Amino acid sequence: MTEPITPETAPAGAMLIGFADVRPPGADEVFAVDPASGERLEPGYPQGGAAEAARAAELAHAAFDGYRRTPAETRARFLESIADNIDALGDTLVRRVTAETGIPEQRVLGERARTTRQLRLFAAVLRDGAWLGVRVDPADPGRSPLPKPDLRQRKIPLGPVAVFAASNFPLAFSVAGGDTASALAAGAPVVVKAHNAHPGTSELVGRAVRAAVREHRLPEGTFSLLFGPGPGLGTALVQDPRIAAVGFTGSRSGGLALAAAAAARPVPIPVYAEMSSVNPVVLLPGALAEKGAELGAGYVASLTTGVGQLCTSPGLVFTVGDAEEFLTAAKDAVTAAPAAPMLTDGIRRAYDEGAERLAGRPGVTELATGGRDEAIATCGQARLYVTDGATFRSDETLQSEVFGATSLVVRLRDLTELHDVLGVLEGQLTATVHAAESDHPAAAELLPRLELLAGRVVFGGWPTGVEVGHAVVHGGPFPATSAPATTSVGTLAIERFLRPVSYQDVPEALLPVELRDGDSAGVPRLVDGVAETGAR
């Protein structure tokens, strides 16, 4: 049985638990709201709870053994089918995303392309085979004083994964986003808790995933999509003993709550939470002197992208030396920045409160505010503040994330003061440096500091915009993430949902095919520590 996905596919207002459309009788409903107009959007979405979480986890658990044993090629084609189905939704999906989030059409098109591209990228990863981490240490029965056993290693999936969709990326970090793509690639069934800010978008994409499950005759519980409150449904999902790992993108409070719930289980599980970051930018003296105005304009363009509702928005800038030209250009750019709708009214309220809290701190001066439009229901207004190094070091609240287009410039006297303020920063997703050639000695000293501070160090650019590829890291030390050794973007993300298993002296006929001598799988491997391509 197939589930046709066409440009006419419309959201129906249901949870997708396995192959069933579920609307619990008497359940509370939530509706998406157009953030620009404030208009309620149909249909309503039932709010699930512990019963729905248990059913989805039960199906995922039942599906796990069969799904994890599927050939890599089958899973690769499955991921490609999801991407094809998302593309097939056409303008229906684009219009729904725009209506639910206020995100402009061009950015939606870009995010859709990124979402399908990363699904296809993980298909390529599966075909390559290096993700299996195959290692072979052949036996040496004649070794003295003890014989050497035959040891072979590969990676297997952890088990069913709960994915919590993000508010600010309704496609790329949501139902079929990076967490889901990497978990499905690893061989792990996925239960997604959709974000209530964009339920129609979530259902459309969820149907695209489920159609691919049916098309490839995969186990029913390979994918489920739930709607409901975090404290109820979300906690129940994380605490279900059949869930083996969690992927989360959102607030620090939400991520920490899930991590605590996972740690309190009789059998704790890993939570890969991407939580908060102010993404510090360092402007060195030579760069300020050579192109201060250009830096000011580029900074504000990055800050106001997506109304600042990006996890890599530059919320903190350190200027070293004369920054007048930079500040003037930044002030002018913020003043000219038009108002735009934020994702939800709740996000807008939290943003206004955060900006006002920052403005009320001693030693902080408001430098500029952007345009305001009372006709926009969730109006986001850019704001720019400035302070000095001594004030910043003495007030830890100044490095708190304000989720939106608000940023703080910290004016520093010299490089010594720069290193002092870097010493008080929390872990970050990104750290950025702008340096002229004359600044290279100072930049060389900075790099070892910044690589301990952040997961991605940017030179000569801006932190917004995350390239999806093999070498990217979207992660960082706590509190940027709960698991600093991992990334949620790029091909390395698959590692979060795998664990190594070693096989000692297992007869050849019983070994997984990729571990056998002269195997036909052709996957890369290390043999006695020497890389082999796998081609035979």
User: Which DSSP letter does residue 354 get?
Assistant: H
- The H-assigned helical ranges of 271-386 are 285-304, 324-336, 345-359
CA 431 to chain centre: 17
Residue 319 and residue 355 in contact, taking contact as beta carbons nearer than 8 Å: no
- Separation CA 72–CA 53 (nearest Å): 28
The residue-averaged pLDDT of 101-127 equals 97
Instruction: Give the CA distances from residue 507 to residues 81, 348, 504, in Å, rounded to whole numbers and listed in that order.
Output: 37, 62, 9
- Separation CA 228–CA 41 (nearest Å): 17
Residue 10 pLDDT = 84
- Separation CA 70–CA 81 (nearest Å): 16
Catalytic pick among 311, 401, 417, 426: 311
**Residue 379 bears catalytic tag:** no
Residue 189 pLDDT = 98
The residue-averaged pLDDT of 156-166 equals 98
- Separation CA 349–CA 182 (nearest Å): 33
Residue 307 and residue 404 in contact, taking contact as beta carbons nearer than 8 Å: yes
- Separation CA 188–CA 78 (nearest Å): 13
Instruction: Give the CA distances from residue 242 to residues 55, 57, 158, 159, 171, in Å, rounded to whole numbers and listed in that order.
Output: 11, 6, 11, 8, 26
Backbone angle region of 480, left / alpha / beta, with phi > 0 → left and psi within -120 to 50 → alpha: alpha
15-275+487-495 belongs to which CATH class? alpha beta
Q: For residue range 494-525, list pLDDT tens digits in order.
A: 999 999 999 999 999 999 999 999 765 689 99
Give bridge partners of residue 406 from the DSSP assignment: 383
The residue-averaged pLDDT of 322-350 equals 97
Whether the per-residue pLDDT at 365 is higher than 90: the answer is yes
Q: For residue range 422-471, list pLDDT tens digits in order.
A: 999 999 999 999 999 999 999 999 999 999 999 999 999 999 999 999 99
* Average pLDDT across the chain, whole number: 96
Q: Where in the chain is the domain with CATH 3.40.605.10?
A: 15-275+487-495
Reference 168, options 446, 404, 402; nearest CA is 404
**Ranges 1-5, 113-117, 369-373: which has the least confidence:** 1-5
The percentage of residues in the chain with a pLDDT greater than 70, rounded to a whole number, is 98
**Residue 39 bears catalytic tag:** no
- The H-assigned helical ranges of 402-519 are 415-422, 440-453
Reference 202, options 51, 120, 100, 117; nearest CA is 100
b/e per residue, 68-82, with b = 16+ CB within 10 A?
A: bebebeebbbbbbbb
The residue-averaged pLDDT of 250-267 equals 96
Whether the per-residue pLDDT at 536 is higher than 50: the answer is no
Instruction: Give the CA distances from residue 130 to residues 81, 117, 427, 491, in Å, rounded to whole numbers and listed in that order.
Output: 22, 20, 30, 11
Whether the per-residue pLDDT at 2 is higher than 70: the answer is no
The percentage of residues in the chain with a pLDDT greater than 90, rounded to a whole number, is 95
Catalytic pick among 203, 274, 426, 514: 274
DSSP per-residue letters across 130-192: GGG-EEEE--BTT-SSSPBPPEEEEEEE-S-EEEE--SS-TTTTSTTSHHHHHHHHHT--EEE
Q: Where in the chain is the domain with CATH 3.40.309.10?
A: 280-459
Reported confidence tier of residue 533, pLDDT bands at 50, 70, 90: confident
User: Could you give the 3-state DSSP secondary structure of residue 334?
Assistant: helix
Q: For residue range 171-192, list pLDDT tens digits in order.
A: 999 999 999 999 999 999 999 9
The residue-averaged pLDDT of 336-356 equals 97
CATH number of 280-459: 3.40.309.10, 3.40.50.620, 3.90.870.40, 1.20.140.10?
Answer: 3.40.309.10
- Separation CA 426–CA 479 (nearest Å): 7
The residue-averaged pLDDT of 488-494 equals 97
To which residue do tokens 């949620």 refer?
Answer: 488
Reference 54, options 259, 236, 297; nearest CA is 236
- Separation CA 206–CA 192 (nearest Å): 9
